[in-house]
Structure 1
Amino acid sequence: MNTNNAPPPVGSNQPPKMTARGVNVFYGAKQAIKNVSLDVRADEVTAFIGPSGCGKSTFLRCFNRMNDTVDSARVEGEIKLDETDIYAASMDVVQLRARVGMVFQKPNPFPKSIYENIAYGPRIHGLAANKTDMDGIVEGSLRRAGLWEEVKDRLGESGTAMSGGQQQRLCIARAIAVDPEVILMDEPCSALDPIATARIEELIDDLRGKYAIIIVTHNMQQAARVSQKTAFFHLGTMVEYGDTSTIFTNPSEGRTKDYITGRYG
């Protein structure tokens, strides 16, 4: 394990919720991520930006071991949740994914009712002792996702019958129903219209501080709006990482400036 690759200091009084040190990712012989180190803090939204194929989604998937589902994938280095090495042999991956939830690019509600979409995770993890408890979890999760008033009278209807924007907020509600500590979002607005995108961005802002949030986005304006820290990736390397305002107004690396000003990507 390579633990000597500390990220550049970017000030926050909060201790890191997750840390990555010297992370390399390979798909077979091809290296997709090269020696990346950064900290993720609970009181911030961290955005990963960069051109298509630069490795930002691959790196995101390292934080809840989603790359384990790819036979050819190999992850080297160290990633910790608090002080726990998430790649340790003793790590329960099911429990890890309850603590580090994920929202995918395309809304993927279960083919179940709105209620059952939310209740599924808490039921598996034994978070509700009875129906009253479960009702409270479902309502609370939908409220935090800004959906309760829209769906409270049709909880028995299918989640797949909702609009795209509602489906994505349902997926966010499903992720937070198991009381995670970190939420990973892989381009959560790329399939949505501008109005639905604005709702998701408002939701991310509302959730900041309750969860550590990492968002992958191609939309640089979105990264500037919702995040406090930004990491710019290019060809599998993290070129620059720091305060979002600095990355967008005064980047220290020429490649970052070229990408942000539209010279490539």
Structure 2
Amino acid sequence: MEPNTAEAETAGDAPSPKISARDVSVYYGEKKAIDNVSIDVFTRYVTAFIGPSGCGKSTFLRTLNRMNDTISSARVDGEILLDGEDIYRSKMDVVQLRARVGMVFQKPNPFPKSIYENIAYGPRIHGISSTKSELDGIVEQSLQRAGLWNEVKDRLNDSGTALSGGQQQRLCIARAIAVDPEVILMDEPCSALDPIATARIEELIDELRGRYAIVIVTHSMQQAARVSQRTAFFHMGNLVEYGKTSDIFTNPREERTKDYITGRYG
């Protein structure tokens, strides 16, 4: 099955996909949660996954860095390629994969450590930094990119859990980018945040997209319209439609997409 890719990826100016999923199905025991999904994800685009609760968008997101491996009943069929390499092959280093494909969760989950150690932990265990000054530089750069440096630079030894909810989420984004990933997955990163913190995270996503491939699951169609260049609509475990965000919201090809966008169900 060919992927339901955005029409902008036409011959001649099509970027190479960072992630290519082909015929991916996900099972929890006997229950099929994702049915035969094919999609390409591109660097420098934010790709939004939208759809009703329980439609499979978070489940599919978790296949992209093998987070479903942590669920004993989960099984993934099909093929997911990262730069042409099958991430489900038996010799894949899953720890290294999750450094390359970072994840930010719905609820901010800073480690019960200092702000500094939250950021330094990944580079240290992955051997990215060899000296204290190098590590200091990574911490500062990551906090700068996450738009948090000016707010915390004088209290790096304070606990990360003492920050506000929005600051904690930006700390988690800084932690994800500290190991120099290529892809950032975000599972409803603003659902626990107030509107001001949400706006700051959305600005940050826009700033980061030039550097990474970003995939965001969101229940907010307004958020998808604001932050993404590509949108995938999921319904009952199926990828119904995938294309340019502007097209999905103004001229969807599928009736089910139109019904969801206009609020007829969901």
The TM tier, using the shorter chain, reads over 0.9
- Write out the 4+ residue segments of structure 1 that deviate beyond 6 Å after TM superposition: none
Provide the C-alpha distance between the structure 2 equivalents of 1:150 and 1:195, rounded to a whole number of angstroms.
15
Aligned position for 1:225: 226
Provide the C-alpha distance between the structure 2 equivalents of 1:11 and 1:70, rounded to a whole number of angstroms.
36
Aligned position for 1:10: 7
3-state DSSP class of the match of 1:224?
Answer: helix
3-state DSSP class of the match of 1:264?
Answer: coil
Deviations 1:147-202 (A, max 9, x none): 00000000000000000000000000000000000000000000000000000000
Counterparts of 1:102-181 in structure 2, within 5 Å, are 102-181=103-182
* Percent of residue pairs identical: 77
Deviations 1:24-79 (A, max 9, x none): 00000000000000000001000000000000000000000000000000000000
Provide the C-alpha distance between the structure 2 equivalents of 1:141 and 1:117, rounded to a whole number of angstroms.
11
Aligned position for 2:65: 64
Retained in 2: the 8 A contact 1:17–1:82?
yes
The two structures, once aligned, show a CA RMSD in angstroms of 0.7
Provide the C-alpha distance between the structure 1 equivalents of 2:15 and 2:201, rounded to a whole number of angstroms.
25
State the number of aligned residues.
Answer: 262
3-state DSSP class of the match of 2:18?
Answer: strand
Alpha-carbon offset, residue 6 of structure 1: 2.9
**1:259 alignment partner AA:** Y
Deviations 1:77-102 (A, max 9, x none): 00000011000011000000000000
**1:228 alignment partner AA:** Q
Provide the C-alpha distance between the structure 2 equivalents of 1:8 and 1:105, rounded to a whole number of angstroms.
27
Which ranges of structure 1 fall in alignment gaps of 5 or more residues? none
Provide the C-alpha distance between the structure 1 equivalents of 2:5 and 2:169, rounded to a whole number of angstroms.
34
Provide the C-alpha distance between the structure 2 equivalents of 1:72 and 1:167, rounded to a whole number of angstroms.
31
Alpha-carbon offset, residue 220 of structure 1: 0.3
Aligned position for 1:242: 243
Counterparts of 1:77-92 in structure 2, within 5 Å, are 77-92=78-93
Provide the C-alpha distance between the structure 1 equivalents of 2:245 and 2:263, rounded to a whole number of angstroms.
17
After TM superposition, the structure 1 stretch with the greater mean CA deviation from structure 2, 5-14 or 22-31, is 5-14
- Is structure 2 residue 191 aligned with structure 1 residue 190? yes
Retained in 1: the 8 A contact 2:241–2:254?
yes
**1:10 alignment partner AA:** E
Provide the C-alpha distance between the structure 1 equivalents of 2:52 and 2:100, rounded to a whole number of angstroms.
29
Provide the C-alpha distance between the structure 2 equivalents of 1:241 and 1:92, rounded to a whole number of angstroms.
30
Retained in 2: the 8 A contact 1:14–1:43?
no
Aligned position for 2:45: 44
Aligned position for 1:35: 36
Alpha-carbon offset, residue 9 of structure 1: 4.7
Provide the C-alpha distance between the structure 1 equivalents of 2:245 and 2:119, rounded to a whole number of angstroms.
33
Which ranges of structure 2 fall in alignment gaps of 5 or more residues? none
TM-score by length of 2: 0.97
Provide the C-alpha distance between the structure 1 equivalents of 2:40 and 2:228, rounded to a whole number of angstroms.
14
Aligned position for 1:75: 76
Provide the C-alpha distance between the structure 2 equivalents of 1:35 and 1:186, rounded to a whole number of angstroms.
21
Retained in 1: the 8 A contact 2:99–2:180?
yes
Provide the C-alpha distance between the structure 1 equivalents of 2:25 and 2:7, rounded to a whole number of angstroms.
22
